[in-house]
Every structure is written in C-alpha cells, then in structure tokens.
Chain A
C-alpha cells in the first residue's frame, strides 16, 4: 500500500497553515526561505501554491483537520446550530434544467396541433400554385417533404403560430404571387433577382421569404438560407481569418459547417443527382471531377474544413459548363448585417460585416457583383422587432422604393455620421418589395381557414372580417392573429 503523502509534500508547510513564519526562522532554514517583499493583497497562504490561472474554488476555505496550535486543553463543546428544524430545501427542489434546455424549449418549433380540426378543403402546394394569381386569398398546405426541407433550412420561426393548426399552411397573398413570378421570370431568363422584402412589424416578411423558399424547393431550386443575420454578426460564433485575402476576410467555420449540413439535408435529392465539373484537390478529401455534389458536401466532417468545402460547393453550383438548377439565396434580418459587426480583428478593430466571408458572398449577390449563371434569386428580408438601427439600409430602401414609385427620392443627410457606405453600395440597385396589410378578401380567406380549424369561434361574415381587419390596423397579419387567434377571449 503506497503512503498517502509523499515525502516532498511532508516537507512543505501544510496548505492551511496561515501563521507567517518568523523572519529569523526563515533566514535560518533555507527550505522556508521566501521573498521578503510580498505583493499587496496576497495572503501568506497563497505563497504555498504555485502560480496558476485557474480561479480559486468558491466556498469557505478548507479548514485544516486539526485546529492550528491545538493543545490538549481545547474542548469540543456544544455548538449552536441554526435552523435545525428546517428541512433540506435542496432535496425538495425539482430538477434544474440542463444547460441549453430552456433555450431549446423556447426555440422549439411545433408544426402541428392534434386538437385542431383538419380542414377538408385545404389543398397542398404544387410547383405552380404559388405563381398562380387564381390562388390569391386562399390558404394552402405545405406538403410533407416540403415541411422537412423547410425545417432543415430553419425557415420556420418560433414566433409564428404554426403550432395552432393541424397542418402547416400558408396564405397566398398578392405579394406572394408577385414575388414568385419575379423569381420565376429571373430563373427562366437565367438572371438574378435581387430583392429586399421590407415592411412594418408583423406584416409577414419572413413568411413571404418562406413562401419564396417553398416555391424554390417545389421547383427544384437549390436553396441556401441564412435564418438570422444576427447569428453571423453578434460575435457569438467562431471566426478565423482567411489566408490570401486582402483586406483580410474572416470565415465562420462552425456556422458554415452547420449551414452545409442544412443545405445537404434540405437539398439532398438535387445534390445527389448533380456531379462535380472539376476536381477539388485542396479539400481534406480529394474530390475528382464527376463526383456527386452530396459527396462533396459530405467532405465537411468538421468545422475546419467547412469554408473550403462551402467554396467548392458554391463553385460547382455556379459553374458555367454544366447545367445547374437556379439558386435561391436568402437572409432574414438584413439590418444586422448592413453595419459593423461585433467581431474584432487581431488589432482589436471592429470588423465590418462585409468582411465576413459568408456575408460577403451574400452581399455581393445582393449588390449584383456576383452573378448566378443559371439564374436564381438573392432575397433579403428586414426585421423590425429585433433590429439594430441601420440608417444606410433604411435610407437605401426608402430611396429604392421612391424610385420604383417614381416619387421624390429622399436625400442623404449631409451632416449625419452614421451612414455605412459599403451597405449603401450593396443596396444601390436592389428591388424593394414593400409588404403591408392584407386586403379584406385575403383576410376573409384566412379567417375562414382559422374557423374551419376550430381556432376561431365566430361566423366568418363581412362584419367579423371587417372588424378584425380594422382592429389589425388595416389588415396587418400579425395583428390579425393577435386580435383573433392569440386572445384568450373565445
């Protein structure tokens, strides 16, 4: 049996010994010789331990087993014990949620409700139904495979009330038909639609983006969706500088790794049928020409390889020599990226969002300097509830909208400093799709769906539709939901 303490340990003073050694004794024995000058605020006890970066453990200091200088005359008498009749609170307390559990609960997405009634006349979306003006003001269901794809690419948001109905369904609006037709036109002509969806709070901007994605998935487009601009710019995901870039760009390996997983899952069918046009020898696993793109995407086994794989994938998807499907590249929460990010360079200077490689790719697409040879669309949606102030974005969108309506274009305030020139440059030639309230016909279609699902306990006639439409500030969708669905009054 080995001894519990080695001899060297015994030679040291015990760690709990707080009494300073007298100077004479220190001078006398070389073993206990310590520097005479002690830094202010350090206890004598700290000298026994070597320098360490780990913090001292919380809680009361460890008492030595025997009191220091204990003689035979120290009695252990009766001790005062406070709260001896109290029960153990810790045992009563229920289990504390694990790390991340609360957030997962908060962010969970429920897409169905077994208690809601199935709507008999609900038709599923077909590849052409969103482009058909005849479907305006009808509610249409999302097919199962599409649900999987949209879920994989994080298109659903927890704030949207999917969890109230038997099956996820969307209202086809005039704006939807307009947007989808523009997308389809651009794809047919092998052009790139560059468009920003903007509008007031809860008017359905993200939902319009979801409908665009639904159309793209149904028509076999490749869809790349960045669900929140905020995730990329608030410095909550890792970043690393990219070699051979001047000015230095930064990749976000973990985010891109997850993005590749999402792309792979959502576009699996398409990717498995497409083959590489050129070889990619630089990747962790060398890819030769004529390998399926799914295999290429699978090369990203860890975050370190994510960015090169993503570049290779993008290169293949936009390769001119092989016929490829159109690409839909979308981002929600535009105002988070049209500004300086929270990341810092090694020189501790703030990094502009456009110097983050993934966002650079998106904004190049939005600004028009990046062409999609096989057509497609680059769409962005603004957010109004969680959005930092982005004066250049606001101004640019207002200007584009005024240009479209041939009104007087608002001018830049010459004495305001907060503009961002790079953001302005990227938004100089985009189209703007303003989203407002729905009209009464659309409101009626929506409310009939709600009533048929058993979620709205009222007769859907002209009076009730007008009432809710007016309450919702001329048919703002989210407000209509609040006025009729999310209220406790039945």
Chain B
C-alpha cells in the first residue's frame, strides 16, 4: 500500500513535456513593454493566483514533519489565536473524529506517512553537482533551451520538448523584431536636446544602464569635477583638495574622478557622492591643516608626452630652396678643392704610398728601403 502511494506521488511530480514554468514566465515578461523607460531595476510582481486568502489552504497541504498525525496537527492549529470561530469549530470537529478512530488505524496512518516520507525524500533533497566529476556531467547546463528532464520519454501524443523550445525561441525573436520595428522609433519622442552645463553645475555624473537587465554595476555612479571650477576656493585650498583626492586626481586633465557602487540603488550612490564632494570641499576650506608639508603626489599617473612633428622640419618651398642652395654650395666647395688638388682620397693616398715604397725599393736595392719614420710605441 505504501509503495503504491509513493509511486502515485512520483507520477504526479513527473515533469510535463510542456515548457517549464520559469521559461513561461520569461516570455510573459518580454511582452510587458508598457512600462516607461527607466534606469531602475524592474522587479516581478507577486503572482496573482497565489494571493493571501489561500494561505490557509496552502498551510494544510504543506507538509510539516513535526506533526506525526492529523490529531497533532489540529491541536497545533487550535492553539493559533488568529483563526476565526468557524475554522475553530471545524478543526474541533475534525479532531474529535480523529480521536474516535481505533488505535490500529492510527498506527497504520502513521506508518503510511513514514514510508511516504522515506520514498519522497530524494525529491526534496537539493541536487548538488559533484565537484570533480568527469566533464562536470552532473551539473545542470543553463544554456540549453530545454531543461533535459525526462525529455526522452516520448508517448507519441505531442512533439518533443526540444521542438517546443525551438518554437518558443522563434516566438521570442519575433516578439523582439516587432518591438524593434514598432516601438523603438517611438523612443525618439522622449529624446531631450543636449544642454551644456551652466556655471554653477560643476559636477558631472555618469550612470550605467543595462537596459533593464540585471548587472552588478548598474548601480554604479561616477562623478567628475575640476577643483578649479569649485567656487570660492583659493589656490592653497584647491591644492589641498587635490591632495585630499589622492590617486583620484588626474594631474594631466586636472580632474577629480570618484565612483561609488556601495549601495543598492543608483540614487543612494549618487547621494553619497554628492555628500562626499561637499565634505571634501568643506575640508579643503578648513584652515587648521593645509597639508603644506605634503607634496602633491602624482605617482599614480603616467604622464603621456605629446609628440608633435616640429614645425621646422616641414619641407616647405622655402626650406627646399634653402637645402638646394646648401647642397650647391657644398658641391662648389668640393669642386674647388678638387681643382686645387686638396681633396683627400683614401685609396689614392694608399696607392701613392705603396708606389713610393716600391720606387724606393727599386732605386736602392741594399738596404731594402729607407724606412718611414717610425712612430712612437
């Protein structure tokens, strides 16, 4: 009897070959595009069919292992203060019915409950992937279009789960295509013309939006400002502000840049940054310690040298003429030297020296040659 009950339960819990619930929810979400454009993260509303009035019923279905039989359960229920008189009467009646049962039937019931618990325990257990399994094969793959549960059981009454998933994919793509054609152009109505910041607006904030998708840095806010733009700051105070900013100061652009993603919402982060800048300015104005003994630290910044092609190097018409004249002059000088015989030629010098040595050797056979003046060692 107990085994038949367990197999019945298993049958009920078998996955349907239809789409899983989560996937259905995702498609439903994509169609709800009636919200206005916003940078804050959306959250799902609680499902309507699980409203509060059925909580009591849910509680009855709920399995609490601390109650061994219906008697115990009803006793616990009657102790609750929040129930109304009608419920109390019904519960009292049910408790009396239970107590009228013979003890053997009570025991049978308890036995049945125990066997059900044991048989269904694998369903309740959290499935944890084995860590060092071969190719992580026990791990669920979130990238697949189906959840791969029981999809091989085919009963010839429907297409396969994979087929359902493919169809769903097509529907989704069409949905987005429709959105792109019909609704995205409407966004241009909301566009605002760019207005450059006016004198008082010294802070420049940057936000990041991932188009409603959840992302770790969608709450991040960055503020940039130039210490020289802050009103009523003397030179010394500006310098102190730069020193306070530390590595957040860029000495090349002269800009302080601070970011914050500490809090959950963008607005909170932005508020924090605003407060921080106020605090920094107030500290910079505080004359008790002006950090005069600390030089401005720029070790965090690598200065990039801007290399420009020198103006003098451009080959302008004038420059070309100048160069040509110089070359002409040099050639003329060379020619003049050549005419005078003052041009030095290494090869010629060597030939002449060798010829002279040979001639000397021929003229005076013994001793061999008048040696050239020997240099110092």
Contact = CB atoms under 8 A, between A and B. Distances in A.
Interface string A142-153: 001001000000
B346 interface: yes
B183 to A, nearest CB: 56
Pairs of residues from A and B, 7 with the lowest C-beta to C-beta distance, nearest first: A112-B375, A414-B295, A451-B346, A462-B330, A457-B346, A448-B344, A459-B345
B372 interface: yes
Nearest to A459: B345
Contact of B345 (A110, A111, A460, A462): A460
Interface string A440-456: 00000001101110111
Nearest to B371: A114
A457 B375 contact: no
Nearest to B374: A114
Contacts of A459: 343-348
A198 B346 CA distance: 33
Interface in B326-377: 327, 330-331, 333-334, 337, 343-350, 353, 372-377
B375 A450 contact: no
B377 A112 contact: yes
A415 B300 CA distance: 11
Contact of A450 (B330, B346, B372, B377): B346
Contacts of A113: 375
A280 interface: no
A144 B377 CA distance: 11
17 contacts: A110-B377, A114-B372, A117-B353, A118-B372, A144-B376, A414-B295, A414-B297, A451-B349, A452-B349, A454-B346, A454-B350, A459-B343, A459-B345, A460-B343, A461-B343, A462-B330, A462-B334
Interface string A105-116: 000001111101
B299 interface: yes
Nearest to B372: A118
Point out which of B297, B353, B376 has the most chain A C-beta atoms below 10 A from its C-beta.
B376
Which range contains the number of B residues in contact with the other chain? 20 to 34
Nearest to A462: B330
A458 interface: yes
A94 to B, nearest CB: 26
Contact of B347 (A166, A167, A457): A457
A454 B353 CA distance: 9
Interface string A258-292: 00000000000000000000000000000000000
Interface string A456-477: 1111111000000000000000
A415 B299 contact: yes
Contacts of A112: 375-377
Nearest to A166: B375
Contacts of B297: 414-415
Given A112-B376, A454-B353, A459-B344, 20 more contacts: A110-B377, A111-B375, A112-B375, A113-B375, A114-B375, A116-B375, A118-B373, A118-B375, A167-B375, A415-B297, A415-B299, A451-B344, A452-B349, A456-B346, A457-B347, A459-B347, A461-B334, A461-B343, A462-B330, A462-B333
A419 B135 CA distance: 58
A117 B330 contact: no
Interface of A: 110-114, 116-118, 144, 147, 166-167, 414-415, 447-448, 450-452, 454-462
A452 B350 CA distance: 8
Interface in B276-334: 295, 297, 299, 327, 330-331, 333-334
B178 to A, nearest CB: 61
B376 A451 contact: no
B375 A117 contact: no
B299 A462 contact: no
A462 B375 contact: no
A167 B376 contact: yes
A457 B299 contact: no
Contacts of B299: 415
A123 to B, nearest CB: 16
Point out which of B346, B348, B350 has the most chain A C-beta atoms below 10 A from its C-beta.
B346
Nearest to B327: A462
A167 B344 CA distance: 19
B346 to A, nearest CB: 4
Given A117-B353, A462-B334, A111 B376 contact: yes
A488 to B, nearest CB: 16
Contacts of A452: 344, 346, 349
Contacts of A415: 295, 297, 299
Contacts of B375: 111-114, 116, 118, 166-167
Nearest to A447: B344
A462 B331 contact: yes
Contacts of A117: 349-350, 353
A454 B376 contact: no
Contacts of B334: 461-462
Interface string B85-111: 000000000000000000000000000
A244 to B, nearest CB: 40
Contacts of B333: 462
A121 to B, nearest CB: 10
A76 to B, nearest CB: 62
Nearest to B294: A414
Nearest to B348: A459
A447 B375 CA distance: 21
A455 B376 contact: no
A438 to B, nearest CB: 17
A414 to B, nearest CB: 4
Contacts of A111: 375-377
B347 A458 contact: yes
Interface in B3-55: none
A414 B294 CA distance: 9
Contacts of A450: 346
A393 to B, nearest CB: 22
Contacts of A457: 346-347, 350
Contacts of B377: 110-112
A457 B350 CA distance: 8
Nearest to A466: B330
A452 B352 CA distance: 11
Contact of B349 (A167, A447, A454): A454
Nearest to A415: B299
Contacts of B337: 461
Contacts of A110: 377
Nearest to B342: A448
A454 B374 CA distance: 16
Contacts of B327: 462
Point out which of B343, B345, B373 has the most chain A C-beta atoms below 10 A from its C-beta.
B345
Contact of B346 (A144, A167, A458): A458
B164 to A, nearest CB: 66
